[in-house]
Structure 1
């Protein structure tokens, strides 16, 4: 098959995003699509067969769009976009959240793009799927963007402290010190999005609040964005209780992985039950992530696929007892 060349004009920012540190991004594209990518100045040239150049060009164009939105482009972005395009999908032109301290936050996969659209459209959103798909990070980013724009008065984060059980009161320190270890993923995400100083300032002012699920009882959360994290470890009663905390001007997102239930009775998981009965309720949106949506590390995707394959061989999956049909 004849090998030809085509040239894509790029500005300096897009060109840096496409080539990557030490041309690492280019190397990944070349290896995936069997093309030669060069940067002679003012853009890149793609050398290869027409069949190979097409997907390579779409990857480069998607990376350039991310750069144009002000987003940082990482190796994980390159791998995610390549996975979408090699799988026959189309890399969407997603919305950007201008809150990241290292630049705008832009979804890495089409599933993440749909997730952000659901967060923007629905009063109650669910983001469910395996670890590393960005469901918690994007929820925190979206909530932070609403807080910065003044569209909500506060960001409320809650999570079941399953490991602590009834012993939470015996842990040292005040409520924040007791709960913080269980909310480490959220704090890491917010520190990355807003910066540690801004996060601490907003916590001191009460604009960002964290509490275990048990402390939500009896409250009405108005004009707030609420994140219910690790929701697979809520009981059915806890899930009903926290979902009914929604007050005027509030929005909520529930995140979790139905395959990682830590409850003594996995069939009592409130997440699978809520998905089953609320999926078609007006104002509710659900985004299910799969192994191919993992953006944390290439190895994480392989781990998730291995566990999924093991489950497919007939080994028991109690977490799926209540999982809704696809």
Structure 2
């Protein structure tokens, strides 16, 4: 049995925590971890499949196999130096209060029964149910069971992706002239205590002129950003201009493009990739498949390719926009056709990319707000030499029921990577799809 007097806490884990981060059992310091037997039952249902959630289930099963032993069911097994113990807890009877409150015998309620049993068995220690399911947290609290979200990989500032381009009004006209005539000036010329982040972008407005600029922390200088197009796509606002500038910069290997629907995130990334097709062996576009309304893709008709086609259609739509800027007989149009035919430009579900080593590729990951921090890490660590990765997403459209503003992988990556020389982030504000789309994104 676990110690009755130990001052550390006892954490009871829900299935969704493991599917969010299969290494979670090692993230609770010296506290003990309880794994309900019901969780193992549920994980067994997720082990088969090609989605990232299936990968998490399989990896946790392998991890658990490495630490297997009789102690897991009797007193708990140590998770290592400075860590607590892990114990698998078998099913427990429902208390009278639980029976009266929740009539159904479902996995969530069986996990509640175990959490209730643990809290009553160890009254001298704080026991907490850890789940990413807000409804289960509410159910637990109604029974007097402490419950919390999994917070290990949450960002502290949920507005990290809301950061906009910094604008300087009444800026020194002579410095703006220097940007146009010489191309750059030292950051200290702005003011002595001016400390911008790597690749931070600025709009300088003087009395008679203005300029777009970007900070390079290697040279500690601020350089002018020119308005250039990419494969027929022209930037329509300052944020799009900055985005294309950094998408075309070979020194920036990792980018986050955020913003509401219709701001041009995916279109700009794809246009920049095709513009630079000679620099990369392959252009890859991928997105996670997140079924809406709790309906799995299995209910869709057709074979595997036909089932996933609706999820990939937005990427094909962006490709069509670029193609239609050219005459079908033009070399530019034919180049795209050839790249698709020869699979040098490949649109695919993200699950089909996992496990590959991606060298000298331009990799665009769409809808990245639906990825967990661990999934983002898994993807980035596949990057080989010469690869550039661009993650796009809208935090107002998180479809995963277990992710939010603080726990999604796109916010986590941006928070951890900010101020790195090879990383850049632009938040696109203005919708350019249409006035109707912009109005809907703002008001609805």
- TM-score class, shorter-chain normalisation, is 0.5 to 0.7
- In 2: Cα distance, 1:256 partner to 1:202 partner: 25
1:119 matched residue in structure 2: 247
Kindly report which structure 2 residues correspond to 1:141-160, keeping only aligned pairs within 5 A, or say none: 141-147=271-277, 150-160=278-288
Deviations 1:13-44 (A, max 9, x none): xxxxxxxxxxxxxxxxxxxxxxxxxxxxxxxx
In 2, are the aligned partners of 1:239 and 1:270 still within 8 Å (CA)? yes
- In 1: Cα distance, 2:361 partner to 2:304 partner: 20
SS where residue 266 of structure 1 aligns? coil
Kindly report which structure 2 residues correspond to 1:201-240, keeping only aligned pairs within 5 A, or say none: 201-240=338-377
1:139 matched residue in structure 2: 269
Deviations 1:60-110 (A, max 9, x none): xxxxxxxxxxxxxxxxxxxxxxxxx9xx9958650122x2xxxx3210001
In 2, are the aligned partners of 1:225 and 1:252 still within 8 Å (CA)? yes
Unpaired runs of 5+ residues, structure 1, are: 1-84, 308-326
- In 2: Cα distance, 1:153 partner to 1:191 partner: 21
- In 1: Cα distance, 2:420 partner to 2:305 partner: 34
1:190 matched to 2:319? The reply is yes
| Structure 1 residues 274 and 91: CA distance shift in structure 2, 3 A | same
- In 1: Cα distance, 2:211 partner to 2:442 partner: 22
In 1, are the aligned partners of 2:256 and 2:410 still within 8 Å (CA)? no
1:312 matched residue in structure 2: none
* TM-score of the aligned structures, taking structure 1 as reference length: 0.58
Bigger shift: residues 280-289 or 157-166: 157-166
Bigger shift: residues 164-173 or 203-212: 164-173
- In 2: Cα distance, 1:128 partner to 1:251 partner: 17
In 2, are the aligned partners of 1:128 and 1:289 still within 8 Å (CA)? yes
Richer in helix (by share): 1
1:95 matched residue in structure 2: 228
- Equivalent of 2:259 in 89, 114, 129: 129
In 2, are the aligned partners of 1:140 and 1:186 still within 8 Å (CA)? no
- Equivalent of 1:249 in 386, 409, 415: 386
SS where residue 157 of structure 1 aligns? strand
CA RMSD of aligned residues (A): 2.7
* 1:210 CA displacement: 2.2
Deviations 1:115-139 (A, max 9, x none): 1112122111110011111111111
* TM-score of the aligned structures, taking structure 2 as reference length: 0.44
SS where residue 133 of structure 1 aligns? coil
- In 2: Cα distance, 1:166 partner to 1:219 partner: 28
In 1, are the aligned partners of 2:256 and 2:424 still within 8 Å (CA)? yes
| Structure 1 residues 249 and 306: CA distance shift in structure 2, 3 A | same
1:294 matched to 2:423? The reply is no
- Kindly name which structure, 1 or 2, has the bigger radius of gyration based on alpha carbons: 2
1:162 matched to 2:283? The reply is no
In 2, are the aligned partners of 1:130 and 1:259 still within 8 Å (CA)? yes
- Equivalent of 1:285 in 410, 424, 433: 424
* 1:211 CA displacement: 2.2
- In 1: Cα distance, 2:290 partner to 2:312 partner: 12
